[in-house]
A and B are shown apart, each in its own frame.
Chain A
Amino acid sequence: MTAHQPASPWKQMWKRLKRNRMAILGIIILAILISAAILAPVLTPYSYEQQDLILGGTPPSFTHFLGTDDLGRDLLTRMLYGGRISLAVGLCATLVSLLIGVTYGAISGYIGGNVDNVMMRMVDILYALPFTVFVIILMVVFGRNLLLLFVAIGAVEWLTMARIVRGQVLSIKQQPYIKAVSVLGFSHTRIVSRHIVPNVIGPVIVYTTLTIPRVMLLESFLSFLGLGIQAPQSSWGLLIRDGARMMETYPWLLIYPGIVLSVTLFALNFLGDGLRDALDPRSTRQ
């Protein structure tokens, strides 16, 4: 694909990315959200499980900026702590998918031949399987376990990554410098991990940025169905579920978590699109 890279592609990419206002906006929003989630205990005097039944369902006010839920728990606090879980699931599950996808794709592309054929045919078959359904069954069967949620979502989302990496590796391994290092007698593991994988990092980063919103959507979807995070813990999907249940009396419980989830997905999608355009100028809007 990229036959000849200019002297410092990263700088060029950053320059192009800076021109994309929506992508920069995305970065800013994400930075704010992530720091808010990390600083949650500092930002709010309340605890996410502290109930105050007298306060049950008060609308937004100066003491509770976004109001409280039916049990008198501060909504802003629950959203901040929920953000921790939602963002953590997004990052960790994406990391799992990254690990599986890159390893699988790199091995398949590097070995090539029949092994590659078989490995990619397996990916084709896996593509056709209804994975959302499997994740639902898994969550029902094994209970709502956070670690399992990471693994299950990550295991679902690695397929496209494997395809992308494999395609890149196929073209990179033809290049003279790979011939050169193999003549030097380096082991295959070393060639793949030190000389090939670092050179496919661009498309991998782009696709990773686009995987995170998909993963977060899947987590909140599961939580919405009651299969993900369980109370008293919170995640944005769970808050939306509660909000939808009580929207007639406490509409703010639905509106604020809905907004924050949508804005996060916005930011991630814009950033992903921006990175893709910055990395591959040919795909830029005409």
Chain B
Amino acid sequence: MLKFLTRRLLTMIPVLWATVTLTFVLVRLAPGGPFTEEKQYPQQAIDQLNQHYGLNDSLPKQYVHYLRNLLHGDLGPSLKYQNRSVNEIIAETFPVSLELGLWALLVALLLGLPAGITASLRPNTALDYIPMSLAMIGICVPAFVLGPLLVLAFALGLGWLNASGWDMPSDRILPAITLGSAYAAYIARLSRAGMLDILPQDFIRTARAKGLRESRIIGLHALKPGIFPVVSFLGPAVAGLITGSFVVETIFHIPGLGKMFVMGAFNRDYTLVLGLVVFYSALVIVFNTLVDVVLASLNPRLRVGS
């Protein structure tokens, strides 16, 4: 297990390095700098700003400088939000995205798992077709269509909820549903497929032959291996959920990481974009590793030889 973990953590390094380098190169390829569009600044001020943030240094020098700070956990100052460091911005916006993501995850699991499992127990009946058609809708109606439609119906039409914002507890409902529904759909399909793989197997027949109650067979024997595909999906999914959705945060004006990233990209806030990408990639990798550990503990066969 320890060897498995160390190996996983070691493969993180080239991935993170590649991400940082590619992002660094990409944002610096841009014609013009972060301050060129600030028309109100005189040229002298722009020069000074560039000087202050070290943007006049050669690219390799800036790159090494950035990497050195990164190793100390310092993502540098934001270029557009004065007197704020990228670390501060992340510390402020990440909790918002995290909360939204956890609500969405709850929606996804509560809708997806029961739907998928029921469908797998009665394949090719209405109990299978109805939830699976709903899942198809969940996959095919993108968040940027679903979100505005929900706002139209429940906020502007019925007036039950706010159209945007992140102040009241009820403000969580629509974004969580918008963000969670596609994940719910995938979870439903994956848990259905996983259960369908398990249910015809010999050990389930043995359990039935022993005279176990059906609820015990499904809930205990079949479920554990049956939701394997869901667990492996959850790694990247959870990382994607909690790092904030560009679309959902934009639609509902939620001050989270995703909205920050989009604005940072528009504003050419190099350091903010870089910092968010680094943070995001690190989270994704950590969650994928976590999932591998969970999978290995669920399935002893994965531990051997890996």
| C-alpha spacing A262/B146, complex, angstroms | 10
Stretch at the interface among A78-86, A182-190, A195-203, A243-251: A243-251
On whether A254 and B152 interact (CB within 8 A), knowing A125-B15, A134-B26, A141-B30, the answer reads yes
What is the minimal beta-carbon distance from B75 to any residue of chain A, in angstroms?
15
| C-alpha spacing A225/B147, complex, angstroms | 14
- Asked if B268 and A140 make an inter-chain contact with CB atoms under 8 angstroms apart, the answer reads yes
Stretch at the interface among B56-64, B89-97, B135-143, B297-305: B135-143
| Cβ contact of A258, chosen from B30, B145, B280, cutoff 8 A | B145
A39 within 8 A of B: no
CB-defined contacts of A285 to chain B, threshold 8 Å: 123-124
What is the minimal beta-carbon distance from B159 to any residue of chain A, in angstroms?
12
CB-defined contacts of A224 to chain B, threshold 8 Å: 144, 247
| C-alpha spacing A129/B262, complex, angstroms | 18
A220 within 8 A of B: yes
CB-defined contacts of B139 to chain A, threshold 8 Å: 265, 269
| C-alpha spacing A141/B26, complex, angstroms | 8
Task: Flag B90-123 by CB within 8 Å of A: 1 or 0 each.
Answer: 0000000000000000000000000000000001
- Asked if B246 and A136 make an inter-chain contact with CB atoms under 8 angstroms apart, the answer reads yes
What is the minimal beta-carbon distance from A270 to any residue of chain B, in angstroms?
8
- Asked if A129 and B281 make an inter-chain contact with CB atoms under 8 angstroms apart, the answer reads yes
Count residues of B near A (Cβ-Cβ below 8 Å): 44
CB-defined contacts of B251 to chain A, threshold 8 Å: 244
Stretch at the interface among B17-25, B39-47, B79-87, B204-212: B17-25
A240 within 8 A of B: yes
Task: Flag A204-226 by CB within 8 Å of B: 1 or 0 each.
Answer: 00000000010001001100110
| C-alpha spacing A133/B268, complex, angstroms | 14
Within 8 A of B (CB), among A116-139: 125, 128-130, 132-134, 136-138
CB-defined contacts of B284 to chain A, threshold 8 Å: 128, 130
What is the minimal beta-carbon distance from B58 to any residue of chain A, in angstroms?
20
CB-defined contacts of A220 to chain B, threshold 8 Å: 142, 144
- Asked if A247 and B266 make an inter-chain contact with CB atoms under 8 angstroms apart, the answer reads no
Write the chain A residue with the least CB distance to B157.
Answer: A251
A255 within 8 A of B: yes
CB-defined contacts of B281 to chain A, threshold 8 Å: 128-130
| C-alpha spacing A240/B144, complex, angstroms | 8
A8 within 8 A of B: no
On whether A247 and B29 interact (CB within 8 A), knowing A129-B22, A217-B142, A265-B140, the answer reads no
What is the minimal beta-carbon distance from A27 to any residue of chain B, in angstroms?
16
- Asked if A125 and B136 make an inter-chain contact with CB atoms under 8 angstroms apart, the answer reads no
| C-alpha spacing A251/B145, complex, angstroms | 12
| Cβ contact of B148, chosen from A137, A140, A237, A254, cutoff 8 A | A254
- Asked if B23 and A137 make an inter-chain contact with CB atoms under 8 angstroms apart, the answer reads yes
| C-alpha spacing A130/B284, complex, angstroms | 9
CB-defined contacts of B162 to chain A, threshold 8 Å: none
| Cβ contact of B14, chosen from A125, A137, A241, A258, cutoff 8 A | A125
| C-alpha spacing A138/B265, complex, angstroms | 10
CB-defined contacts of A244 to chain B, threshold 8 Å: 144, 147-148, 251
What is the minimal beta-carbon distance from A156 to any residue of chain B, in angstroms?
12
- Asked if B156 and A262 make an inter-chain contact with CB atoms under 8 angstroms apart, the answer reads no
- Asked if B250 and A225 make an inter-chain contact with CB atoms under 8 angstroms apart, the answer reads yes
- Asked if A247 and B156 make an inter-chain contact with CB atoms under 8 angstroms apart, the answer reads yes
B151 within 8 A of A: yes
A63 within 8 A of B: no
- Asked if A141 and B27 make an inter-chain contact with CB atoms under 8 angstroms apart, the answer reads yes
| C-alpha spacing A130/B282, complex, angstroms | 10
- Asked if A133 and B149 make an inter-chain contact with CB atoms under 8 angstroms apart, the answer reads no
CB-defined contacts of B23 to chain A, threshold 8 Å: 133-134, 137
| C-alpha spacing A258/B178, complex, angstroms | 14
Write the chain A residue with the least CB distance to B239.
Answer: A130
- Asked if A138 and B26 make an inter-chain contact with CB atoms under 8 angstroms apart, the answer reads yes
Pick 25 A–B contacts, CB within 8 A, sort by A. A125-B18, A128-B288, A130-B284, A134-B22, A134-B23, A136-B246, A136-B261, A137-B26, A140-B30, A140-B268, A141-B26, A142-B29, A217-B142, A220-B144, A221-B246, A225-B246, A225-B250, A225-B262, A237-B144, A251-B152, A255-B149, A265-B141, A265-B142, A269-B136, A286-B123
Q: A-B pairs with the 10 shortest C-beta distances?
A: A244-B148, A258-B145, A141-B30, A265-B140, A128-B15, A224-B144, A140-B265, A266-B140, A262-B141, A137-B26
Excluding A136-B261, A141-B27, A262-B140, 5 further A-B contacts by CB distance (< 8 Å) are: A221-B142, A240-B144, A247-B152, A254-B148, A258-B141
